[in-house]
Structures are given as structure tokens and as C-alpha cells.
Amino acid sequence: MPTVLITGANRGLGLEFARQYAADNWRVIATCRKPTLASKLIQIRGDITILPLDVTDFSAIEATSEILQAEKIDVLLNNAGIYDPNKKGLRKTDFDLWAKMLRINVLAPLKIIESFTPQVTSSDKKMIVSISSLLGSITANDTGGQYAYRSSKAALNSINKSLSVDLAVKGVISIVISPGWVRTDMGGPEAALGPVESVAGIRRVIDSLQLVDNGKFFNFDGSSINW
């Protein structure tokens, strides 16, 4: 039975990842800040373990890795993240929010990867998947604005490229993937995709990954995104 570890699993894409993987007979390790309040996550049936984890607390990440030191994590899924729904532009930058966003969207995923690399490299699949965004593509930026969110996802993409080089010798496949514009708390009600469709697409990409895909930037439908 393969194992997936999912951060930010109490809502949105993270919750749907937990549902789909549990339904497909994976062992699911789902983390979120307050499991006792994650009523929908608690209701999921299957081989699922729910653990408290605030990804901004790096000591907690290390402690969680210690708890799970005997696990073999086939897919490490960096899903937790935040977004600025106000889409503020030039001269309206909330620098405090930007700093928070960088810690959650950039520093935390790398800390999680550093802490759980032994569990990933001991598994059969050896995959690290971080949820990025089309807004992290510099090439695709033709509308401007959203400095904080765009830069956080571009930085995550850059980190993944280095990871793909550093961990290749251990047989790890590390990718970033855009879920598309999804109807979640983050994406809003007018988004084009539902969580079920987006997550199903991402899972198909994960299932088809080969070593040649290491370091790439994918869309949820399997197409490549330019940096």
C-alpha cells in the first residue's frame, strides 16, 4: 500500500486529495493546523492518519518528521499555501502579508522536504509534488500585479528545480504543478474547475511521472508550463 503525506488537508484541494487517495486504498497522512476542527477531513473513511501541523512552525515540522520517522512516504504533497484575494497592485503592497506568504508558500515547503527526505527516499515511488500556480510563470505574466503571490510561486518553482538536481542521485522525482483555477476558498466561486476534476488531473500526472519528468513544471491536465 503506497503512502501519501498531504499538508493543508482540512479544506480545498488538500481535502480532496485526502478523499481521493483514501478511496483509492492509499495510506493517507493528512496534516492541518487544527484537526479537531477539520470535520470534513475526520469523516473520510480509509487508512488515514490526521496530525496537527502548522507549516509556519519549523520546530513542529521537525517533530512531526520524528513521529513519522519509520514511515515510507511515496508521495510528499506540499499543498498548504495562502493567497491574497485582493490582488493588490503597485503602491498597494501589503508587505507584512508578503512576508507571511513567503514563509508559508516558499520556506515551509522546503523545510518540509528537508525534514521528510529520508522517508521519501526509503519509499518505492520517491516523489515530491509541490502545488504551484500558473501565476508563478514569468513567461505567462502578461497582466502584471499580484506581486506577493506571483513571486512566492516563482520562488517555489526555483526551489524545486534545485531539488530536482540535488535529489536526482537518490532517484527522487520532484515536480511543481498548477491545479488550474479551482472553486475553493482560495480560487473563489467563479473558478472554472471543481476540486474533484483538478485533483483527479493532478493524480493522473503523478501516476504517470518518470525520471525524465524530474524538475518539470506541469499543469493539472499534464501539459507543460513555461517558466
Instruction: Give the active site residue among 92, 149, 161, 170.
Output: 149
Helices 95-102 and 147-166, packing angle to 10 deg: 20
Radius of gyration of the chain (CA): 16
In sequence order, which residues have a C-beta less than 8 Å from that of residue 70 and are 6 or more positions away?
A: none
Give which of 159, 125, 182 is closest to 5, Cα–Cα.
125
Q: For residues 153 and 227, what is the distance between their CA atoms, to the nearest angstrom?
A: 11
Range list of H helices, 122-194: 147-166
Identify which of 25, 149, 155, 21 has the alpha carbon closest to the alpha carbon of residue 77.
21
Calculated CA dihedral for residues 89, 95, 99, 100, nearest 10 degrees = -80
Q: Which of 111, 125, 126, 153 is catalytic?
A: 153
What is the C-alpha to C-alpha distance for residues 134 and 141, in angstroms, rounded to an integer?
Answer: 9
Q: Mark whether 83 is an active-site residue.
A: no
User: Coil, strand or helix: which one is 175?
Assistant: strand
Report the C-alpha gap between 30 and 218 in whole angstroms.
23
Q: Is 153 a catalytic residue?
A: yes
Return the half-sphere exposure (C-beta side, CA atoms, 13 A cut-off) of residue 194.
Answer: 2
**Grid coordinates given for 10:** 482540512
Q: Active-site positions?
A: 149, 153
